[in-house]
Chain A
Amino acid sequence: MRIALGALLSLAVALLGYSALPSVRPLGVQPDLVLLLAVCWAVAWSPGEGLLLAIAAGTLSDLLGTRPVGLSVLGALPALALAALGQATVVQASFPSALVAVGLGTLAQHILYLLAYTIMGEGPAWGDGLVRGALPAAIVNLLWTPLVLVLLRGLRAVLGPRAAGPRLGG
């Protein structure tokens, strides 16, 4: 059941990112649903499952967009590593853990994007990319985190806790 839900959410996230969300953007910035879903799933269930979801949703998202396929997955790795680190601590405070992972992870993601585009010879100015790209994106992602986390926690209440399913390394 969780696998089906994960697959469905991956598809929905990839589709929404290029269809509905560009027209909404309440603060002028689009949230990165791939990163949000992966991190919040990692916090709600397990980091390993979050990683699998990042691979699925990130690859689908890149296939539908202009990024090189794999860049979204690469960009989600720092956030997922932070989420896993948060889950490995004694006090598994999921909400702060998710916020830290999403906030710092988004900044790291944009640095990776800028690095990748610079290597490909298509990089924009790093100053603009960080100040006008990374910071607003981190703020918007942080604002969306409680919504996604509450949604996934609600689903976890229905589908069962993480011990009920397979875990990868978490």
Chain B
Amino acid sequence: MEGPSFQPEPGPVLKWALWLLGTLALAIASMALSQAGALDPLRSLALRAASPASLALRGATVDASDLLRSLLRRDQLLEENEALRREVEALRAELARRQDASQRLAELERLLQLKSSRPQDGLLGARVVALELGPLRQAAAIDRGSDDGLREGMVVLSEGGSLVGTVTTLYPDHAWVTLVTDPRSAVNVTVQGGQGDARGVVVGRAGLPPSLELVPREAGIEDGDLVVTSGLGGKFPPGLLVGVARSVRAHPQDTFVRAQVEPSAPLSRLQAVLVLTSFQPIQLGAP
């Protein structure tokens, strides 16, 4: 009669280790192929096949979460609504004080966030078929691609006209848009503060809201200041609303202000976007 064995059998352990090594090799080989673009046709096919189910699931989830949120936060929503009304009124009053008529018009366009307010722009509507909102990657897949005239670097806006991101990966009938919150994203911006405009950069961070960097402390920016694209660098047209400055801290010993940016586009609930086809981003080379 044998006693109880406290050691795993060598056979299964060895077999398991071989399976792990085989899978490791398979994963690394797949990654190499994927990076070389050899699997792009398969990716495009997968997105096309999954789009209908993904769209239905996304729509249902957003509707359900809207309903649940409304039920759970009715009082809070009413308060937020009132606060937003006051904020919009204050912003409009501020805009009315602006002397430059053309600047006032541009500001109103951003506030109204309507497609019709940008008649000079060529805009192409697209549906969001997939969202990736991990800490290391923030992207959205849309149902427009190179066959629709999209090019890498094209700017993507929300339905309200706020900046969503840029097209970074293209397939014939789909494209991936890297969101402004992605850790690889950097956008040259202007902060419209009470003491005048200040230049800075909005940088995406892993697992955190984007940060507002390189804004001099003397600029005197405050919570709630609007952050818009500056057009510097040529990757984005000037005047697109990026978001609102939050958690602004200006320590006397710091050269630059520390702040976060709350994106204006509802990135986790995107269902449709507009691709700005009339703007051609400039690809600057090394000096």
Bitwise, A53-92 to B at CB < 8 A (1) or not (0) is: 0110001101111111111011001001100100010100
Contacts of B141 in A (CB 8 A): 18, 64
Contacts of B132 in A (CB 8 A): 18, 22, 65-66
**How many residues of A sit at the interface, in one of the four size bands?**
35 or more
**How many residues of B sit at the interface, in one of the four size bands?**
35 or more
- Measured CB to CB, the closest approach of chain B to A130, in angstroms, equals 9
Bound-state Cα–Cα, A129 to B135, Å = 7
Given A48-B16, A60-B46: A68 touches B130 (CB 8 Å cut-off): no
What is the chain B residue whose CB lies nearest that of A17? Answer: B132
Asked whether B251 is an interface residue with its Cβ less than 8 Å from the other chain, the reply is no
- Measured CB to CB, the closest approach of chain A to B275, in angstroms, equals 18
Contacts of B255 in A (CB 8 A): none
- Give the residue among A62, A110, A136 with the most B Cβ atoms within 10 A: A62
Option from B6, B12, B30, B54 in Cβ contact (under 8 Å) with A90: B6
Bound-state Cα–Cα, A120 to B34, Å = 12
Bound-state Cα–Cα, A25 to B205, Å = 18
- Give the residue among A20, A55, A62, A136 with the most B Cβ atoms within 10 A: A20
Are B61 and A132 neighbours in the complex by a CB distance under 8 Å?
A: no
Bound-state Cα–Cα, A29 to B138, Å = 12
Asked whether A124 is an interface residue with its Cβ less than 8 Å from the other chain, the reply is yes
Contacts of B205 in A (CB 8 A): 124-125, 128, 132
Option from A15, A16, A54, A133 in Cβ contact (under 8 Å) with B206: A133
Describe A's contact surface by its main secondary structure.
helix
Contacts of A128 in B (CB 8 A): 183, 205-208
Option from B15, B27, B57, B269 in Cβ contact (under 8 Å) with A19: B57
| Chain B contacts with A in 202-225, Cβ cutoff 8 A | 205-208
Describe B's contact surface by its main secondary structure.
helix
- Measured CB to CB, the closest approach of chain A to B254, in angstroms, equals 19
Are B184 and A124 neighbours in the complex by a CB distance under 8 Å?
A: yes
Bound-state Cα–Cα, A120 to B31, Å = 10
Instruction: Pick out which of these stretches binds chain A: B17-25, B73-81, B90-98, B104-112.
Output: B17-25
Q: Please report B residues at the A interface, Cβ cutoff 8 Å.
A: 4, 6, 8, 12-13, 15-16, 18-20, 23-24, 26-31, 33-35, 39, 42-43, 46-47, 50, 53-55, 57-58, 60-62, 65, 130-137, 139, 141, 169, 176, 183-184, 205-208, 268-269
15 pairs of residues in contact across A and B, judged by CB atoms under 8 Å = A23-B58, A25-B133, A47-B16, A63-B46, A65-B130, A68-B31, A73-B27, A84-B16, A129-B135, A129-B183, A132-B208, A133-B136, A133-B206, A137-B135, A168-B15
Q: Please report A residues at the B interface, Cβ cutoff 8 Å.
A: 14-16, 18-20, 22-25, 29-30, 47-48, 51, 54-55, 59-60, 62-71, 73-74, 77, 80-81, 84, 88, 90, 110, 113-114, 116-117, 120, 122, 124-125, 128-129, 131-134, 136-137, 168-170
